[in-house]
Structure 1
């Protein structure tokens, strides 16, 4: 009998690095599996559980890529930190939208999507023994970056009675002594809360006093309702001294699959991000950079139209919620809604019930942290008609 051990006498075993066992569970992957199982069984599932924009990228951006793809210059390696014209476009957009002045060369880094930057900053700033302050509930990929860095997390509860803003005075002194990095995210995923200018003033002061770097995740920065534009962390004097902001084209221009984002702010952090990326990547395909620059510098009517669409969807959705007695606060920003579960149920039980009985997928709040329990997150990422239909299906379960 042939020995398949190549004569070594023992089976070859893959021994991964210990950090691979520290990575958090990707609970969205299970959500997708559960939805696919219902679809495979022949059910019409209305999937409100994910955060993937449902509209196409505006045609003028697509056309720019089509033309740029034929440019031989872009068939070569891009400059390691990206083309200057794209960094200049990002700086221009921040000046026009938020009156923030940025040096394109030293205060803007091009990222392979916002998620990449959110992982990188933990690896850049943290090591074993350090603490990262993380919102709870919050975006689970913050946890991934901290795990890869070997550091620890301390959670900042986001509660309704505190407007889903962290209470810095509640953080223990022994935690602050070891804290080096803090994640913030407004408009917020999952709660959809927005942050006022005064909160960021407080944040800058808190960061300076405690020597904590701020990572502001501004992924939904373009999406504000009722005539209110979300506030950028970088608008506050002193913000660039203590941190950076992450901005993505994924939500603003329906470019989630294009993987274009930026880190903006503190020069030393931008230098470190570029240094890390020099060792891992050569920058984005030049044609995509050209299209991204067109998105940022062209007329912004497509963004206004998109925000109007989400606001209209929000209004239609909450009209239906009122009809079935499901009481919740309408979001002021993002394309998410944060809804309480019925009494006597937890968020996983409720989400499972909705999927199996109403064929409506929602994200259980516990997947975003302990303080997410008691809520579910839904995305306004389908038509008004389908959003209304989803609520009507839920209403037939007589849970409210």
Structure 2
């Protein structure tokens, strides 16, 4: 018997992931590539302190209250079984949270469903809107729309299912607003995916009068679903006392859902707990997809999330204070070196056009500048086309890391070239 070769088994793969040609191209998930390059640099320079202003992971971790709640739950038999469709108490607490934070009434039984975090939820929602089924040959190609740049999961997964992904450019020239009117000619548009505040630009669209109301009405008239990723909605630096959710826009629940999680809001990326809230029919469809593909999130973690939300104001206050101080210092250093940046409306990223020259080199795009910063200066950043993104959530205190944020920001000031040039 001849052993199977890699090429043989790849012939069993679906076309959405590359089929028999899986692995032949250089396509790689953006953040996986950044982490791989960082590891390679660290291995080659074990004594050099890397300044990781890249991915944007809240390294401080969750509050002690969150940790204690999870630990207590793991010792209670009631949390040992299959989670199935989740902890009823979490759904109830989420509904209360939306009322207290946003003034929105939510039915926990029909308008809330937990998830493993926003990324898996987006994957499930893509299947809700894009799975072709056995009648795909009888209909026109499904279309979805996404902002570019943006978090790539929704578009990537939709493309694997054969959907046409329509890009809505987000540019500095247009104040980082996307123009959904480019979708007027779409013949079979099923869903629009929006991030609010936007990642990576930090733009808060509610700062534009009538923006959300017009978008929601546009979707209602065309029966197009609206999926709004609100991972950073509580990390907001404009109108700080007025948190915003698209769920508060009149008519939104006719067409849309919002996605929240503990990852950014509560500094708990490892918790993998989130919730989808909004239109009951979309929630029911999402719930079915979730139930078909998962046994649910760990009940102890859901309990930890519920306890954290009941003490939300105390936890988020400390997190916000830390981020706004760090963002201000990061913006100051980048401006000093010529980056045309300002404080974002929300989130913990600073987004800028990438330089075209500096340090005696020319950069063809942001990818080239990112590699220069990492390979020559040990600074991690994230490229988006012709733009570059820095995060204020730098990891400190470990091996090969700066001792503190103060040390990191001073080192960044020293390592950035003094002669950067920008084509603005």
2: CA distance, partners of 1:149 / 1:300: 41
Q: The residue matched to 1:247 in structure 2 has which SS?
A: strand
- Which moved further from structure 2: 261-270 or 225-234? 225-234
Residue number among 246, 250, 257 corresponding to 1:233 in the alignment: 246
Shift of 1:321: 2.3
Q: Does 1:281 align with 2:278?
A: no
Show the counterpart of 1:335.
348
Counterpart of 1:398? 419
Shift, 1:329, TM fit: 2.2
Equivalent of residue 218 in structure 2, options 194, 206, 225: 206
Aligned counterparts of 2:174 and 2:223: Cα–Cα separation in 1? 24
Match for residue 14 of structure 2?
A: 17
Shift of 1:379: 0.9
Q: Return the offset for 1:393.
A: 3.2
Runs of 5+ consecutive residues of structure 2 not aligned to the other structure: 358-362, 395-403
Q: Deviations over 1:239-261 (max 9, x none)?
A: 00011001111111111111001
| Offset of residue 16 of structure 1 | 1.0
Which residue in the other structure is 1:349 paired with? 368
CA distance in 2, matches of 1:393, 1:41: 21
Counterpart contact for 2:237–2:346, Cα < 8 Å: yes
SS of corresponding position for 1:263: strand
Matches within 5 A, 1:240-255: 240-255=253-268
Of 110, 113, 121, the residue aligned with 1:117 is: 121
Q: Is the 8 A contact 2:235 2:265 kept in 1?
A: yes
**Aligned match of 2:397:** none
Change over 3 Å in CA distance of 1:163–1:396 after alignment to 2: closer
- Confirm or deny that 1:259 pairs with 2:272: yes
Q: CA deviation at 1:221?
A: 0.9
Secondary structure at the counterpart of residue 146 of structure 2: strand
Structure 1 stretch displaced more, 197-206 or 69-78: 197-206
Question: In structure 2, do the counterparts of structure 1 residues 209 and 394 end up closer, same or farther at CA, with 3 Å as the change threshold?
Answer: farther
Do the aligned residues in 2 keep the contact of 1:119 with 1:144 (CA within 8 Å)? no
Question: Contact 2:53 / 2:379 at 8 angstroms: preserved in 1?
Answer: yes
Say if 2:331 is the partner of 1:321: no
> Using the alignment, how far apart are the partners of 1:282 and 1:395 within structure 2?
48
Q: Is the 8 A contact 1:358 1:393 kept in 2?
A: no
Distance in 2 (CA, whole Å) between partners of 1:387 and 1:137 is: 27
Question: Which whole-Å deviations, capped at 9, do the CAs of 1:291-327 have from their partners, x for residues lacking one?
Answer: 1100111252110111111100011112222332322
Deviation of 1:89 after TM superposition, in Å, equals 0.8
Look up the SS of the partner of 1:92 in the other structure: helix
Query: Is 1:185 aligned to 2:181, yes or no?
Result: no
Gaps in structure 1 of 5+ consecutive residues = 367-373
Contact 1:122 1:145 in 2 (8 A): yes
What is the deviation of 1:149?
Answer: 2.6
Match of 1:154 in 2: 166
For 2:167 and 2:146, locate their aligned partners in 1 and report how far apart those are by CA, in whole Å.
5
State the Cα distance separating 1:289 from its structure 2 match.
1.3
Q: Which residue of 2 aligns with 1:143?
A: 155
Q: Which residue in the other structure is 1:377 paired with?
A: 389
Structure 2 distance, partners of 1:390, 1:199, is: 40
Shift of 1:216: 0.3
Equivalent pairs counted in the alignment come to 384
